[in-house]
Structure 1
Amino acid sequence: MSLLSTIKSNPKLKKIAHWLIIPPGQARPRLWVRLLVNPFVHKRGKNTVIRFNSRMDLFPFSKFEIGNSCIVEDFATINNGVGEVVIGNNVGIGLSNVIIGPVKLGNYVMLAQNIVISGLNHGYEDVSTPPRTQKVVTKQIIIEDDVWIGANCVITAGVTIGKHAVIGAGSVVTKDIPQFSVAVGNPARVIKKYDFETKSWGKI
């Protein structure tokens, strides 16, 4: 049995390991993890720029991968604590974006400013317990190649956004968006689709 399996199967060891990696009550790894562990665990592609003022809240027990020629702008936060974050090539992550796994971004995805993409929800059903302390629920978010998401959008857990879709600024995406479409609003709805026969974008 490997060391990792031993720790996972022993509640006391798991609790100690968790404390060593994460300060109590926080969702950010300790400094020694960020400096001494993550650079050797997570994959970062060539020519990718992660700005100094961004927060890479990455944990070694969950996958994080970012492809080639990407940029993560200042004040963005990426967190893989409750789910993997996998980012393709030539992806632009704008100012003050928040990405909480499980999330998968394809190639040439363009994210404007102040976007929240979160595969995480807190339970709320037990009214005798604060939602903050209830069990978290995660659902995979998939954003396929060539998607453009406008400023101030929210992408909720479990959503898939198809290839070359455009999400208008300020939209809240709660359901899947088909490929080659434009969606806007709260909740977001499709208003245009690309017609390959006429080679034009038509209104719905």
Structure 2
Amino acid sequence: MSVSGYIRNNARLKKLFHWMLIPTNQARPRLWVRIFLNPFYHHKGRNVIIRRWVRMDVVPFNHFSIGNNSVIEDFSTINNGVGDVVIGENSLVGMSNVIIGPVKIGDNVIFAQNIVASGLNHNYTDIYQPIHKQGVTVASITIEDDCWIGANVVVTAGVTIGKHSVIAAGTVVTKDVPPYSVAVGNPSRIIKKYDENQKQWIKTY
């Protein structure tokens, strides 16, 4: 068994190792992790810009990567504590976004401002336990290439947004969006799709 496998299978050792990486009841890893461990475990492409006021809550036991020429703007939070966060090439994560893995963002994607994309949900079914003690479930979010996600959008766990789709500002995306679609509303609904035969965007309502 590998060292990492041994740690994962030993509850006490796993707890100790986790405490060494992240202070109790916090999401931000310790300074030594950010300086000495993360650069060796995570991939950062060429010409990447991560602004000074971005909160990078990334740990070495899950994957984080960002492709060439991509940008993460100020006041955003990136968290891979419960799942990988992968950002493709030539993509923009706008100001004040929150991305909690597992999330995969493709190439040439535009995230506007104040977007939340979280692959995490808190369990709540046991009414005799506080929610924060019931653990979490995760389901991966995928944003395919060439998408534009408008301001104040919420993308819920398990959703896939297909290639070259547009999500209007303020939309809550609770189900998959097909490629070449425009989605609006809460919950989201499709109002346009691109018709390959007619070579134009067609209203669906």
Counterparts of 1:40-189 in structure 2, within 5 Å, are 40-189=40-189
Runs (4 or more) in structure 1 with deviation over 4 Å come to none
Residues 115-144 of structure 1: CA deviation (Å, up to 9, x unaligned)? 000000000111111212212000010110
Gaps of 5+ in 2: none
Worse-matched range after superposition: 162-171 or 192-201: 192-201
Residues 67-111 of structure 1: CA deviation (Å, up to 9, x unaligned)? 000000000000000001111100100000000000111100100
CA distance in 2, matches of 1:161, 1:140: 11
Q: Which amino acid aligns with 1:201?
A: W
Q: Which amino acid aligns with 1:103?
A: V
RMSD: 0.8
Query: How far apart are residue 14 of structure 1 and its match?
Result: 1.1
Q: Which amino acid aligns with 1:164?
A: H
CA distance in 2, matches of 1:49, 1:193: 33
Q: Which amino acid aligns with 1:59?
A: V
Q: How many residues align?
A: 204
Question: What is the TM-score with the length of structure 2 in the denominator?
Answer: 0.98
CA distance in 1, matches of 2:162, 2:72: 22
CA distance in 2, matches of 1:124, 1:15: 23
Percent of pairs with identical residues: 61
CA distance in 1, matches of 2:48, 2:82: 24
Question: What is the TM-score with the length of structure 1 in the denominator?
Answer: 0.98
CA distance in 2, matches of 1:19, 1:141: 28
Worse-matched range after superposition: 191-200 or 153-162: 191-200
CA distance in 2, matches of 1:140, 1:14: 24
Q: Which residue of 2 aligns with 1:20?
A: 20
Worse-matched range after superposition: 7-16 or 133-142: 7-16
Q: Which amino acid aligns with 1:157?
A: A
Q: Which amino acid aligns with 2:199?
A: K
CA distance in 2, matches of 1:5, 1:167: 40
